[in-house]
Structure 1
Amino acid sequence: MTTYLEQANQNLLIIDEIVNDETASTAPDTWFIGIDLGTADIQTVVIDGEGTPVAAFLDWADVVRDGVVVDYVGACRIVRAQLAKVQQKFGILVEEAITSYPPGTDPRISINVVESAGIIVSHVIDEPCSVAALLHIENGAVVDVGGGTTGTAIIENGQLVSSLDEPSGGRHVSLAIAGGLGIDMEEAEQQKRRSHEDPLIAAMAKPVIEKMSDIVEGHIAEHQPGIIYLTGGGTLIAGFAQTFRKTFPALEVVELTRALYLTPLAIASYGLTLKGKE
């Protein structure tokens, strides 16, 4: 029997294969669209009624900082362009989508950007909680490391009991690399994405990752979940999971394939969860 974790990993691999593919295709009978406004990128994922990804679009962008849109016009432009690609690919009219927000920030920020594209936000959910719903987590912690923030959702007996977020993410790793090498942020971002190939870059990232693990240690101190699920593009930095396993030796630390796409997949999949409750 395929577990929810295995199914999520399979769907993440599908997204990796189809991301930014604009080839015309037949629209599924039922679809759900998730839009993720990240610090380092903006993503739109479309799933069919079975939860299988059928389209995905990603644009690297520096329009959001720590859950706050710093380039509103730029963010709106990217969302409109991605939705236009969805409509053209399937020959459909997109009328609504689901979006998310980092815990502790105002969800209206994401809603306003998405609705600027002329569609309705049917639902909004905080990022780590969307992942918890996708993986059907009964007990555990979801750690979502984006470009600017580290968020932790604590799930106990299938219920959210805590959702916290602090400003430390992939961008802070890039700042450390930029300072250490004397390069600009754009080049530092490129170097960060090659961290698995360069031990020097991995070494520069380690102190920032350790800080993130300290943040999560504080988030879960009163709960001590048995499992930590890592998600978000920030968790792809070399040595990330190893650092967390060292900080939490008594806990199971679970990685997912292509975690960069997990949050937008989870946002889109939230539509299936809601449909099941109807």
Structure 2
Amino acid sequence: MKTQDAISLTNERLLAIDAIVNDDSAIDVSGPLYLGVDLGTADIQTLVLDQSGAPVAAFLDWADVVRDGVVVDYVGACRIVREQLAKAEARLGQLPTHAVTSYPPGTDPQISINVVESAGIEVSKVIDEPSSVAMLLKMEHGAVVDVGGGTTGTAIIEAGKVIRSLDEPSGGRHVSLTIAGGLGIEVAEAELKKRQGDDPMIAPLAKPVLEKMADIVAEHIQGHQPKALYLTGGGTLVAGFTQVFRKQFPELEVVAFSKALYLTPLAIASYGLQQPGDL
């Protein structure tokens, strides 16, 4: 499958996730199921795919239990994962015994593994977040930019191989703090305004933080020549994000996804379907 075909299929599946997220009504499924758990800075997501890679269950909880790749509320993270897995099992009537999880580049993957396995699920595979997206999109050349709640990660792909994966502490939470300061409101309210994106003040307030993220990515790709940047993570949905990156990188194609909040969880779960030798 070529990258453009993979992008089209991915967009279809992102829309499918959006249609079923947090729906615990029972459905009939058959065949093998593939489970992915994404412990993000702003949210925790559990996604189950069928054997074709189509989403059949998806659950998301906004949570402040992870910061910069470190679980700061271990008990809370474990509780949310257990609850999401229980909802997935109720919806599907079954649950895989193994899961895939992920971690920000440069952090300890064992942290995510411990949280998932606390729920009685064995972690069979673990992968850093931007690399999982690169594999999902079948990339030959380019860079994945993964902006979560606390970090900006970049995976550089050359000749179908992930050759570099880096992460820096600047993400959606930093945008929320800037909005809160600029509008004189609480951070929780700023977070809601950021997600809604309909306040015309959000883009100008967020712009300096987004420009800093672009600078981070510019440092990450220095010395390499990616043909395109692929944006993932809820942080990339902040008003003005894509425009800032297209201005910073006029020589590159900047590929955005409308439901990018679900892209990394989809990539993580899809990694369970990968065969040896696949990108």
CA-atom RMSD in angstroms: 1.3
Match of residue 273 from structure 1? 274
Match of residue 113 from structure 1? 115
**Aligned partner (choices 164, 167, 173) of residue 166 of structure 2:** 164
TM-score between both structures, scaled by the size of structure 1 = 0.97
Matches within 5 A, 1:237-252: 237-252=238-253
Name the CA distance, whole Å, in 1 between partners of 2:145 and 2:7: 15
Residue 264 of structure 2 corresponds to residue 226 of structure 1:
no
Q: Displacement of 1:275 after TM fit?
A: 7.2
Match of residue 208 from structure 1? 209
Task: State the one-letter code of the partner of 1:266.
Answer: A
Poorly superposed stretches of 4+, deviation over 4 Å: none
Structure 2 unpaired stretches of 5+:
none
Does the Cα contact within 8 Å between 1:44 and 1:58 map onto a contact in 2? yes
Paired residue total: 276
Q: Indicate how the Cα distance of structure 1 residues 237 and 7 shifts in structure 2: closer, same or farther if over 3 A, else same.
A: same
TM-score between both structures, scaled by the size of structure 2 = 0.96
Q: Indicate how the Cα distance of structure 1 residues 194 and 56 shifts in structure 2: closer, same or farther if over 3 A, else same.
A: same
Q: Displacement of 1:224 after TM fit?
A: 2.1
Does the Cα contact within 8 Å between 1:83 and 1:94 map onto a contact in 2? no
Residue 81 of structure 2 corresponds to residue 79 of structure 1:
yes
Aligned to 2:229, the other structure's residue is in SS state: strand
Task: Calculate percent identity across the aligned residue pairs.
Answer: 69
Does the Cα contact within 8 Å between 1:33 and 1:97 map onto a contact in 2? yes
Structure 1 unpaired stretches of 5+:
none
Deviations 1:124-147 (A, max 9, x none): 000000000000001000000000
Name the CA distance, whole Å, in 1 between partners of 2:110 and 2:177: 28
Name the CA distance, whole Å, in 1 between partners of 2:96 and 2:81: 12
Matches within 5 A, 1:1-278: 3-195=5-197, 197-274=198-275
Name the CA distance, whole Å, in 2 between partners of 1:274 and 1:42: 26
Aligned to 1:137, the other structure's residue is in SS state: coil
Q: Indicate how the Cα distance of structure 1 residues 151 and 230 shifts in structure 2: closer, same or farther if over 3 A, else same.
A: same
Q: Displacement of 1:225 after TM fit?
A: 0.5
